[in-house]
């Protein structure tokens, strides 16, 4: 009997109803079958600095990251160059550049919630914006030749002079007019500016008017806002964010047809988010990898990371070992540069390269857990004589006994308690005919199975197969 084992993370209010966990695996369904695939680990791109990696951007064949209070420039070899300092040293920053240009005004604009900065690529200098109309910017975007940023704790957003972030006119601001609201953040997508308030969202477009450059798009207003300014990102030809409205908060939504938000978080994910004491500090990034596009949403205070896959519309969790405990993933931000996915660390200043062949993050093994849905036999108690994990075997290092271990535990009481773990070997490298089988599991009416591994190798799981007492081997 094939156990329904493959899927996403759906751990809800009660394990009797929804016990499913999926930590550091993502679900994949191909033409010839389905599987759980281990999430990528990393290798170090640069480890020369210390502090929180607060944000990053790719520009002119280079990568830039703000680490602590310093802007660093990185080349493809991972060599860093100090390009100047910010006033602040912690908390997320937002960055945008003014496009591929020759001559003057090759700029990156940075806002940190206190002020704004311009990095001039032609002179390799970082300076605080001196224009007296510069305000405490929270997020910045570049759209249709203008830097656009929202002013902290107000209903205003501003644009700079054309292609020049150092010049701001006193009249070049816009307000949330459709439904007055405090603006949380901006996202520019497909030449439109999505202005997210706490309770509402309004869409602007470049009208070409000499006096009012950006105007409200008719029909581009929705009564759903954003609870966490750094949760809103471009994703899968749309925009996605952690929402709030006058009726509550904590659902992940993406923009659908007619500029209306569509909830993509499941009831189980919504429940988990509702248990967190603080969600307005959530941070997010999105990236494409091996045919999947992921929205990665981290809750720093709750120490949790949730991930939504646009391809399968499934959720999973990610977590790394930090200070001896498994919590959120290490990464604060993502930049795609040099054909690599570069990830900035939350605390130690390191920049990593994602590596799907590696099962470690910052050198520590990545824990992987899958918990099945409840399997109930309505006819009564059944004895499982044999349980086989259908997976890619023969990937372990014969010189390291812990490379090959995978553990099984099971619950017979609706997920409230689990048995002691029983380990098996995945098989040493090249042992492709090795089988991962547990025997004599006992009798129960309700079964939940939990698989766990710390293997530093890539892991593929294709399913879980049970042979009941009295069945022959030929029935599997």
* pLDDT in the model for residue 154: 95
* pLDDT in the model for residue 208: 81
Q: What is the mean pLDDT of residues 293-301?
A: 98
Q: Quick one: what percent of the chain has pLDDT higher than 90?
A: 79
* pLDDT in the model for residue 476: 41
Give the confidence band of 31 by pLDDT, cuts at 50, 70, 90: confident
- Token couple for 400: 């390291």
Least confident of 15-24, 206-215, 267-276, 415-424: 206-215
Q: What is the mean pLDDT of residues 187-211?
A: 91
d(Cα 415, Cα 412) in Å, to the nearest integer? 7
The DSSP secondary-structure symbol of 374 reads P
Q: Is the pLDDT of residue 411 over 80?
A: yes
Q: Is the pLDDT of residue 309 over 80?
A: yes
- For residues 18 and 11, the answer to whether their CB atoms sit within 8 Å is yes
Give the confidence band of 378 by pLDDT, cuts at 50, 70, 90: low
Least confident of 50-59, 192-201, 440-449, 463-472: 463-472
- For residues 437 and 425, the answer to whether their CB atoms sit within 8 Å is no
- This prediction's pTM: 0.94
Strands (E), 47-115: 53-59, 62-67, 70-74, 80-85, 94-97, 107-111
Q: Is the pLDDT of residue 379 over 70?
A: no
Give the confidence band of 475 by pLDDT, cuts at 50, 70, 90: very low
Which residues have a Cβ under 8 Å from the Cβ of 22 and sit 6 or more positions away?
7, 8, 9, 36, 315, 316, 317, 369, 370, 371
* pLDDT in the model for residue 395: 77
* pLDDT in the model for residue 398: 62
d(Cα 444, Cα 463) in Å, to the nearest integer? 21
Q: Is the pLDDT of residue 22 over 90?
A: yes
Cα-to-chain-centroid distance, residue 157: 27
Q: Quick one: what percent of the chain has pLDDT higher than 70?
A: 96
Q: Is the pLDDT of residue 472 over 70?
A: no
Q: Which domains does the chain have, with CATH numbers?
A: 2-39+369-475 (2.60.120), 41-364 (2.130.10.10)
- For residues 269 and 302, the answer to whether their CB atoms sit within 8 Å is no
* pLDDT in the model for residue 105: 85
Strands (E), 223-291: 225-226, 233-235, 238-245, 248-255, 261-263, 283-289
By CB neighbour count within 10 A (0-12 exposed, 13-18 middle, 19+ buried), where does 275 fall?
Answer: exposed
* pLDDT in the model for residue 434: 87
Least confident of 134-143, 429-438, 464-473: 464-473
Average pLDDT, the chain: 92
Q: Is the pLDDT of residue 179 over 80?
A: no
- For residues 9 and 25, the answer to whether their CB atoms sit within 8 Å is no
Q: What is the mean pLDDT of residues 142-160?
A: 96
Least confident of 161-165, 348-352, 372-376: 372-376
Cα-to-chain-centroid distance, residue 292: 12
* pLDDT in the model for residue 400: 62
- For residues 408 and 451, the answer to whether their CB atoms sit within 8 Å is yes
The DSSP secondary-structure symbol of 401 reads G
| pLDDT, tens only, 80-97 | 999 999 999 999 999 999
CA angle 447, 448, 451 (to 5 degrees): 135
d(Cα 196, Cα 190) in Å, to the nearest integer? 16
Q: What is the mean pLDDT of residues 320-338?
A: 95
By CB neighbour count within 10 A (0-12 exposed, 13-18 middle, 19+ buried), where does 219 fall?
Answer: exposed
């Amino acid at each position: 009997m094939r156990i329904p084992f493959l899927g996403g993370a759906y751990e809800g209010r009660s394990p009797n109803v929804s016990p499913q966990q999926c930590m550091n695996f993502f679900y994949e369904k191909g033409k010839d079958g389905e599987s759980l695939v281990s999430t990528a680990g990393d290798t170090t791109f640069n480890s020369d600095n210390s502090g929180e990696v607060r944000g990053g951007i790719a520009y002119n064949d280079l990568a830039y990251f703000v680490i602590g209070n310093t802007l660093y420039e990185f080349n493809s070899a991972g060599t860093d160059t100090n390009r100047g300092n910010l006033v602040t040293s912690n908390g997320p920053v937002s960055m945008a550049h003014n496009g591929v240009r020759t001559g003057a005004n090759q700029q990156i604009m940075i806002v940190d919630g206190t002020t704004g900065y311009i990095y001039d690529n032609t002179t390799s200098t970082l300076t605080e914006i001196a224009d007296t109309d510069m305000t405490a910017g929270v997020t910045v975007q570049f759209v249709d030749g203008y830097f656009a940023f929202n002013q902290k704790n107000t209903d205003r957003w501003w644009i700079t002079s054309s292609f020049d972030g150092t010049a701001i006119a006193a009249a070049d601001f816009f307000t949330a007019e459709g439904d007055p609201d405090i603006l949380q953040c901006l996202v520019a997508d497909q030449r439109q500016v999505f202005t997210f308030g706490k309770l509402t969202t309004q869409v602007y477009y470049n009208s070409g008017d000499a006096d009012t450059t950006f105007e409200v798009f008719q029909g581009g207003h929705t009564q759903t806002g954003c609870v966490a300014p750094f949760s809103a990102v471009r994703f899968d030809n749309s925009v996605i964010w952690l929402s709030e409205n006058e009726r509550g908060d904590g659902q992940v939504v993406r923009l659908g047809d007619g500029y209306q938000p569509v909830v993509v978080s499941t009831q189980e994910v919504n429940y988990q988010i509702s248990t967190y004491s603080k969600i307005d500090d959530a941070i997010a990034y999105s990236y494409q990898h091996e045919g999947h596009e992921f929205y990665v949403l981290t809750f720093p205070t709750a120490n949790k990371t949730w991930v939504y896959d646009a391809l399968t519309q499934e959720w999973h969790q990610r977590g790394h070992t930090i200070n001896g405990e498994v919590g959120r993933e290490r990464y604060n931000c993502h930049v795609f540069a040099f054909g690599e996915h570069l990830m900035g660390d939350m605390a130690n200043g390191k920049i990593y390269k994602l590596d799907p062949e590696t099962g470690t993050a910052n050198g520590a093994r990545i824990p992987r857990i899958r918990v099945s849905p409840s399997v109930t036999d309505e006819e009564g108690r059944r004895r499982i004589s044999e349980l086989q994990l259908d997976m890619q075997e023969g990937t372990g290092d014969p010189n390291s006994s812990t490379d090959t271990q995978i553990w099984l535990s099971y619950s017979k009481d609706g997920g409230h308690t689990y048995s002691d773990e029983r380990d098996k070997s995945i098989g040493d490298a090249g042992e492709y005919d090795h089988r991962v089988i547990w025997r004599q599991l006992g009798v129960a009416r309700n079964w939940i199975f939990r698989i766990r591994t710390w293997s530093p190798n890539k892991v593929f799981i294709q399913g879980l197969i049970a042979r009941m007492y009295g069945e022959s081997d030929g029935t599997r």
